[in-house]
Amino acid sequence: MSSVRRVSHEFLKRQGLTTVFGNPGSNELPFLADLPEGFRYVLGLHEGAVVGMADGYAQATGRPVLVNLHAASGSGNAMGALTNAVASRTPLVVVAGQQVRPAVGPEANLANVDAPALMKPLVGWAAEPACAEDVPRALAQAVFEAGLQRRPTYLSVPYDDWAVEVDDNCLAVLDRRVERASVPDGEQGRRLAERVAAAERPALVLGGDIDSAGLFDCAVRLAERLGGPVWAAPSLFRLPFPNRHPLFRGVLPAGIAPICAALEGHDLVLVLGAPVFRYHEYLPGRYLPEGTRLIQVTEDASAAARAPMGEALVADPRAVIELLLEQLGTLTAPTGPYRPVPEPPTAEGPLLHPEEVFAALRDEMPEDTAYVVESTSTNSSWWRQMDLRRPGSYYFPAAGGLGFGLPGAVGVALAQPDRPVVGVIGDGSANYGITALWTAAQHRVPLTIVLLRNGTYGALRWFGDLLGVPDAPGMDIPGLDFTRIAEGYGVSARQVGDAEELRAVLAERPDKPRLVQVDTALTTPS
Ligand code: TZD
Ligand code: CA
């Protein structure tokens, strides 16, 4: 005989979910009892930061990750952060504590009434097992569903379940293995290859899933074979292609009319690993130019089903890229040299232009640095200066929910201890996930946070002009000093004054986290 807890811990260990990101409450303590050797508990001080860190960690490892949260209040705090994990298709397995079974109905304090319903709009699967004996199986389902659907899942477990003895049937779950294969059949593959080969002016649009799936380099081979231009899909959260590659045209603007304009002149648009499309600003128009056909290849069945136009093939983009390379041949046309970087503009007075900051990062940080970016008004400055040629170089909050950047950077750094990691964080964004600084300090994560302080919600000022609302209140955020905030959380911090000082600081390689605050001029996102 064994207990629900022992079988569950053993299952998690066998599946490799041994790093637990959490913030505990009384309901969660019985799950955390007797964690076996090899488990690592990463404490976050707020659930938004817990999920942001887990999201960064799961994206950087490419594997499901366990998150342990408190019942309704803790899970509720995590919801905003989960919106990003849904959009980046991050397989987070959230296990939350519940009051003991007899106390849920009477709504004792800390009971999560109808726990799965709280999370359902966001998670791909949510449950509270009908009896204690079903907990290990349900936990396995939560892990497998997260991996298969590439979407967070949620399991609520009454805390009196963990000590319950289970019979041998429960042990069967320990040996389970669940995999997916999704290769197009011969006919589908031939048809697709014919369509692509017949296109006179094909264009590629690549989504964040291409980088998540480890297809960054494959995408380069395909693009060089096709010879046509490459865009990154709008609302980009991972960079799928080297941004200074001669075929790269940038990130598609996130509006209907501008996308239509950008794709003008192409008879075929092949979208790989992205929804069609994740628009943001509502700029109505034709979806596609006259005479342009669109084919979307994605593993995300919902993204295929909900697209407003085009054809879709629900399949593994890796299989499709390999199939196209095989059927089209691998001869590549010469593409020319990588595009050079421009000289950054300088700002007036004591402020740095964001491009000066990014040029410093580009020059002083190693080529394989992973950047987690959450600075919204500096988007175009960023792409003008950066030269990212490696997979896993860029992360951005996938649903635009602030509070991912700082925790996400901590999670990426925990996942890849040998890779330099920089968080590029706005003075507005930093506040939504600020407590992750404490976790970084406690784990001595060698992470650099470059804090861009322009004293305002810059992107919202720009949006205000776009929407004809130039006078909205609540746009400015004066009086924040992140060097003092960081020190309070145990992270050493400094203010830098000019580009030269910034470059000198970035050239150092500290073995623990640090925050570098830079006062920057206001720019616009595009
Ligand atoms: N709250 C959350 C959780 N997510 C959001 N996206 C917003 C509010 C709204 N918001 C944006 O979409 S951008 C932005 C806000 C408040 C300003 C971010 O300010 P920042 O960056 O200082 O980080 P910039 O470069 O000054 O825009
Ligand atoms: Ca700002």
pLDDT at 261: 98
Q: Ligand 1 center to residue 376 CA distance, Å?
A: 6
Q: What are phi and psi of 428, to 5 degrees?
A: -80, -50
Catalytic member of 16, 105, 107, 280: 280
What pLDDT band is residue 156 in, cutting at 50, 70 and 90? very high
The continuous run of DSSP H or E covering 493 comes out as strand 492-496
Ligand 1 site, residue 426, Cβ cutoff 6 A: yes
Atom 17 in ligand 1: residue holding the nearest Cα: 457
Q: For residue 70, indicate whether it is catalytic.
A: yes
Integer Cα distance of 84 and 402 in angstroms: 9
How is residue 132 written in tokens? 């204690």
Of the chain, the percentage scoring pLDDT greater than 90 comes to: 96
pLDDT at 412: 98
Other C-beta atoms closer than 10 Å to the C-beta of 14 total 14
Q: Which of 473, 277, 250, 475 is nearest to 377 (CA)?
A: 475
- Say whether 234 sits in a helix, a strand or coil: coil
* Residues 57 and 19: beta-carbon distance below 8 Å: yes
Q: Is 432 in the pocket of ligand 1 (CB under 6 A)?
A: yes
182 burial (CB, 10 Å; 0-12 / 13-18 / 19+) is middle
The topology (CATH level 3) of 2-175 is Rossmann fold (3.40.50)
**Catalytic annotation present for 329:** no
> Which residue is closest in CA terms to ligand 1's atom 26?
458
Region at 84 (left for phi over 0; alpha for psi -120 to 50; beta for the rest): alpha
- Diameter of the chain measured on Cα atoms: 73
Q: Is the CB of 235 under 6 A from ligand 1?
A: no
pLDDT at residue 427, rounded to an integer: 98
- CA-to-CA separations, 98 to 87, 116, 377, in angstroms, rounded: 27, 11, 41
Is 401 a pocket residue for ligand 1 (Cβ < 6 Å)?
yes
| Ligand 1 near 456 CB (within 6 A) | yes
- Distance from the CA of 222 to the center of ligand 1, in angstroms? 36
Q: What is the pLDDT of residues 207-227, one digit of tens each?
A: 999 999 999 999 999 999 999
- Protein residue whose Cα sits closest to atom 6 of ligand 1: 401
Span 472-494, average pLDDT? 98
Catalytic residue among 25, 76, 227, 250: 25
Give yes or no for residue 429 CB within 6 A of ligand 1: yes
Q: Where in the chain is the domain with CATH 3.40.50.1220?
A: 186-328
The tokens describing 91, both together, are 């397989």
User: In degrees to the nearest 10, what's the CA dihedral of 236, 241, 242, 248?
Assistant: -90
pTM of the complete model beyond 0.85: yes
Q: Which residues contact 186 (CB under 8 A, 6 or more apart)?
A: none
Q: Which atom of ligand 1 is nearest to the CA of 400?
A: 6
Angle (deg, nearest 10), helices 72-87 and 47-61: 30
| Contact indicator for 135, 9 with CB cutoff of 8 Å | no
Neighbours of 45 (CB within 10 A): 15
The CA distance from 502 to 130, in Å, is 57
* Cα within 13 Å of Cα(97), Cβ side: 26
* Ligand 2 mean position, distance from CA 348 (Å): 17
Which residue owns the Cα nearest ligand 1 atom 12?
400
| 354-364 and 499-507 helices, crossing angle to 10° | 30
Among 16, 26, 107, 367, the one annotated catalytic = 26
Q: 372 CA to middle of ligand 2, Å? A: 16
Contact 268, 208 (CB under 8 A): no
CATH architecture of 186-328: 3-Layer(aba) Sandwich (3.40)
Please determine, for residue 330, whether its predicted confidence score (pLDDT) is greater than 70.
Answer: no
Q: Is the CB of 457 under 6 A from ligand 1?
A: yes
Q: Is 383 in the pocket of ligand 1 (CB under 6 A)?
A: no
Distance between CA atoms of 142 and 148, rounded to whole angstroms?
10
Residue carrying the six token digits 């297809």: 215
Question: Is residue 28 flagged as an active site residue?
Answer: yes
State the ligand closest to the CA atom of 460.
1
Architecture of 354-519 per CATH? Answer: 3-Layer(aba) Sandwich (3.40)
Q: Give the strand order in the sheet containing 293-298.
A: 248-251, 230-232, 202-206, 268-272, 293-298, 311-314
- Residue 351: the pLDDT is 97
- Quote the ligand 2 centre to 525 CA distance (angstroms): 12
Nearest-atom number in ligand 1 for the CA of 425 is 23
Q: Where in the chain is the domain with CATH 3.40.50.970?
A: 2-175, 354-519
Asked if residue 98 has its Cβ within 6 Å of ligand 1, the reply is no
Count CB atoms within 10 A of the CB of residue 224: 18
Q: Tell me: the pLDDT tens digits for 52-75?
A: 999 999 999 999 999 999 999 999
C-alpha angle 104/34/140, rounded to 5°?
60
CA angle 466, 467, 470 (to 5 degrees): 85
pLDDT tens by residue, 449-467 = 999 999 999 999 999 988 9
Compute, in angstroms, the gap from residue 424 CA to the centroid of ligand 2. Answer: 11
Helix or strand run (H / E) with residue 42:
strand 40-43
pLDDT exceeds cutoff 80 at 331? no
Q: Looking at 8, 22, 28, 377, which residue is catalytic?
A: 28
Indicate whether 333 pLDDT > 80.
Answer: no
The ligand with the least distance to the CA atom of 354 is 1
Task: Inform me whether the pLDDT recorded for 265 exceeds 90.
Answer: yes
pLDDT digits (tens, 9 = 90+) for 11-48: 999 999 999 999 999 999 999 999 999 999 999 999 99
By C-alpha distance, which of 477, 478, 407, 472 is closest to 443?
A: 407
Residue 399 CA, chain-centre distance (Å), reads: 9
Please tell me if the CB atom of residue 8 comes closer than 6 angstroms to any atom of ligand 1. no
Residue type, 273: G
How confident is the model at residue 251, as a pLDDT? 98
Q: What is the DSSP letter of 166?
A: E
**pLDDT higher than threshold 80 for residue 334:** no
Condensed to tens digits (0 to 9), the pLDDT of residues 353-388 reads 999 999 999 999 999 999 999 999 999 999 999 999
User: 479: CA distance to ligand 2 center in Å?
Assistant: 12
Measured at the alpha carbon of residue 372, what is the angle toward residues 149 and 412, in degrees to the nearest 5?
65
Say if CB 293 and CB 267 are below 8 A apart: yes
- Which ligand has the minimum distance to the alpha carbon of residue 424? 1
Residue whose token pair is 């488990």: 39
In short, whether 396's Cβ falls inside 6 Å of ligand 1 is: no
**Residue written as token pair 């209907």:** 256
Q: Which of 387, 385, 425, 391 is nearest to 408 (CA)?
A: 425
Identify the residue whose C-alpha is closest to ligand 1 atom 14.
Answer: 457
- CA-to-CA distance for 7 and 68, rounded, in angstroms? 17
- Confirm whether 443 is a catalytic residue: no
Task: For residues 153-162, give the mean pLDDT.
Answer: 98
CA angle 266, 378, 491 (to 5 degrees): 135
Q: 324 burial class (0-12, 13-18, 19+ CB within 10 angstroms)?
A: buried
